[in-house]
Amino acid sequence: MSPAVTGQAQRPRALQTILLGGGIAGLLDGLDAVVFYWLTFAVTPTRLFQNIAGGLLGARSFREGWHTVVLGVALHLSIAIGAAAVYFAASLLIPALFRKPWICGPSFGIGLYFFMHYIVVPMSAVPKRTAPVTPMEVLDQLFSHAFFVGLPIALMARRSARSR
């Protein structure tokens, strides 16, 4: 029987919402990082994703070839999917997150940036930077996390809630 016949409301489709929202966010954020760091600092995509793998492997990630690039891509996507899972779960408790994705999504993305930058990265094995973070990097990261991470995740959550 359909939910309309039984009178039961369907729950949003969690797995599809989380994987698609996180996948889109990971792809957009990854593309932004590849383009920004290539144009601004001539950092290759290989080096960029090896740096992400450095969160687990430390400096060794730069000496171990293509499989650490693949690991970096997988970790990047896993983090984005994890962020989508957090947003989705929070949306079940706070329905405004479903209803106001254009406000809540970018806010979530910016909060995620600060969480990653000040908690996750310092606790990881990623090699410490020798150069300070530039204001342009901070602006790019805030923009990317707001509109390429938080917003797609929030829009997918809203889409899932509306399809019930």
What per-residue confidence (pLDDT) applies to 12?
65
pTM: 0.90
What per-residue confidence (pLDDT) applies to 106?
98
What per-residue confidence (pLDDT) applies to 161?
80
Structural tokens at position 5:
């016949």
pLDDT in tens, 36-73: 999 999 999 999 999 999 999 999 999 999 999 999 99
Q: Which long-range contacts (CB under 8 A, 24 or more apart) does 66-75 make?
A: 69/45, 72/48, 73/30, 73/49
Q: Which residues touch 89 (CB under 8 Å, ≥6 apart)?
A: none
What per-residue confidence (pLDDT) applies to 84?
98
pLDDT in tens, 93-150: 999 999 999 999 999 999 999 999 999 999 999 988 888 999 999 999 999 999 999 9
What per-residue confidence (pLDDT) applies to 164?
59
